[in-house]
């Protein structure tokens, strides 16, 4: 098989890149090791910046989002039994959209199918080859038979455990990493959310987040230890712990019900530099991971592929390699700011097992400052709604 850009990974990064390239008349094939059902079964992000929303609309995959997404003009921060509202709209003129990553993926897959573009699911042993030369390729196995896609470029959109980053030669890259000493236990239930807008809570017992997918479906998270097991958390235990960590007025209005998804995610920050090696370009979680506290991971995938599609577009329109050369610096320039913001929000809101009383006071003081200073609130709001690209 031959294509212009072989995309490894059919998550939001790979799917959105595929649509952007198609719009620019650039041929592409996506290959993913997982099945379509498996990909659509993943429950992850829920907050979209307007940059991502604009791109979905631009590629013709924004129809359902426009009809179903909830527009949020603010978020709540809770601490010491109180809460205050961060007015995103007043500070930035922008809002965020509540629309699940599962839905984004669904809509992008539908758009891809409508456009008749090729996706190979359930591919085994996917490997990128010869990307340091002029003729790269991607191979994979189906039913024990090896297949090859010859291409001009490879886009590694294969997430944090993907094969593309691992294929880069040792010594060609630098890794920056922070592993946090806790995880998030998440729960989905078809119950109305506790509040119209998200609530991020810092509590002595640990962080809690009240999010949602719709007016009838809630998504809640509580900070947990990394060695805890989902099986050890009954729904009742989860609801009790969540209520303990929320301010009393919020705790009282939590509607409980049976969960239909529960999972634990570890938290870490990770960046690899550069995100380009020869004709292989990394985008999304393949190049950087952020803890979910700032709701940035999915949105970073969108800005990466925006820059990457622009670079491929320039190359195919007039042969210029300028955009390709600038890609790594541009994408990482924006990603690092989201890495910083996510790290800052994580530090601000979680209970660190070894935190001294001094550090707890610093968190409380920073939250108090945010609630009292327009300028501090504006800086947080600017980052939360997403820096421009
Ligand atoms: P994905 O979505 O992981 O997709 C990668 C795809 O690559 C495939 N793949 C391979 N294919 C072939 N060969 C291999 N060797 C392969 N290895 C992997 C996989 O099957 C998969 O289909 O990466 P992508 O596209 O870069 O997208 C990134 C986002 O998924 C991620 O950043 C977000 O989910 C992060 N995130 C959040 N981001 C937000 O912007 N807002 C949020 O509110 C938010 N909340 C979250 C989150 C992530 C979470 N978890 C579970 C880590 C909440 C949680 C709990
Ligand atoms: C979610 O709804 O899954 C969600 C919302 C906000 C975050 C992280 C996850 O910061």
Nearest C-alpha neighbor of 179 from the set 198, 160, 203: 160
pLDDT at 170: 87
Half-sphere exposure of 319 (CA within 13 A, CB side): 0
Counting from 1 in the atom list of ligand 2, the atom nearest the Cα of 101 is 3
Catalytic (active-site) positions = 72, 200, 292, 296, 384
Residue 334: partners with Cβ closer than 8 Å, 6 or more residues away: 300, 303, 387, 389
Q: Is 47 in the pocket of ligand 2 (CB under 6 A)?
A: yes
- Provide the β-strand partners of residue 223: 184
Count the neighbouring beta carbons within 10 Å of the beta carbon of residue 130.
14
Listed as ranges, residues in the chain with pLDDT below 70 are: none
Q: Is 213 in the pocket of ligand 2 (CB under 6 A)?
A: no
Nearest C-alpha neighbor of 128 from the set 159, 161, 165, 160: 165
pLDDT at 209: 98
Instruction: In whole angstroms, give the CA distance from residue 240 to residue 254.
Output: 10
Q: Which of 69, 159, 212, 286 to mutate to test the pocket of ligand 1 (most atoms within 8 A of CB)?
A: 159
Contacts 24+ apart (CB under 8 A), 240-243: 241/205, 242/208, 242/210
- 3-state secondary structure labels for all residues of 151-176: CCEEEECCCCCCHHHHCCCCCCCEEE
Instruction: Name the closest ligand to CA 161.
Output: 1
Q: Which of 202, 261, 292 to mutate to test the pocket of ligand 2 (most atoms within 8 A of CB)?
A: 292
Secondary structure letter of residue 2 according to DSSP? B
Assess contact for 300 and 106: CB atoms under 8 A.
no
What residue has token string 């994979």?
140
pLDDT at 43: 86
Instruction: In whole angstroms, give the CA distance from residue 285 to residue 343.
Output: 16
286-324: per-residue pLDDT in tens?
999 999 999 999 999 999 999 999 999 999 999 999 999
pLDDT at 80: 87
Instruction: Name the closest ligand to CA 44.
Output: 1
| Token reading at 150 | 């010859």
Instruction: Tell whether the torsion through CA atoms of 260, 264, 267 and 270 is positive or negative.
Output: negative
DSSP letters for 296-316: -HHHHHHHHHHHHHHHHHHHH
Residue 148: partners with Cβ closer than 8 Å, 6 or more residues away: 1, 137, 138, 139
């Amino acid at each position: 098989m031959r294509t212009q850009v072989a995309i490894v990974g059919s998550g939001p990064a790979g799917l959105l890149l595929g649509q952007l390239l198609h719009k620019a008349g650039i041929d592409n094939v996506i290959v993913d090791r997982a099945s379509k059902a498996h990909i659509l079964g993943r429950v992850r992000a829920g907050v979209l910046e307007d940059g991502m929303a604009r791109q979905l609309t631009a590629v013709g995959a924004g129809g359902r989002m426009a009809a179903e997404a909830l527009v949020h003009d603010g978020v709540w921060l809770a601490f010491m039994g109180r809460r205050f509202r961060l007015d995103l709209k007043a500070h930035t003129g922008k809002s965020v959209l509540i629309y699940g990553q599962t839905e984004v993926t669904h809509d992008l897959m539908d758009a891809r199918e409508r456009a008749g573009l090729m996706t190979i699911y359930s591919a085994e042993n996917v490997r990128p080859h010869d990307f340091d030369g002029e003729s790269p390729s991607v191979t994979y196995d189906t039913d024990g038979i090896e297949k090859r896609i010859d291409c001009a470029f490879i886009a590694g959109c294969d997430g944090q455990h993907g094969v593309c980053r691992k294929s880069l030669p040792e010594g060609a890259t630098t890794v920056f990493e922070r592993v946090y000493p806790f995880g998030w236990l998440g729960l989905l239930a078809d119950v109305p959310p506790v509040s119209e807008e998200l609530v991020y809570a810092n509590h002595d017992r640990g962080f809690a987040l009240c999010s949602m997918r719709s007016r009838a479906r809630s998504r809640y998270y509580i900070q947990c230890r990394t060695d805890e097991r989902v099986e050890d958390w009954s729904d009742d235990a989860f609801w009790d712990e969540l209520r303990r960590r929320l301010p009393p007025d919020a705790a009282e209005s939590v509607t409980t019900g049976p969960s239909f998804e529960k999972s634990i995610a570890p938290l870490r920050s990770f960046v690899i530099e550069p995100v380009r090696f020869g004709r292989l370009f990394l985008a999304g979680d393949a190049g950087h991971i952020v803890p979910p506290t700032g709701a940035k991971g999915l949105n970073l995938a969108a800005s990466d592929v925006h820059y990457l599609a622009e670079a491929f577009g320039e190359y195919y329109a007039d042969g210029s390699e300028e955009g390709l050369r600038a890609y790594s610096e541009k994408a990482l320039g924006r990603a690092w700011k989201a890495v910083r913001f996510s790290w800052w929000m994580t530090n601000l809101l979680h209970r660190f097992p070894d935190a001294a009383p001094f550090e707890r006071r610093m968190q409380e003081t920073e939250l108090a400052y945010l609630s009292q200073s327009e300028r501090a609130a504006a800086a947080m709001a600017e980052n939360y709604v997403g820096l421009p690209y």
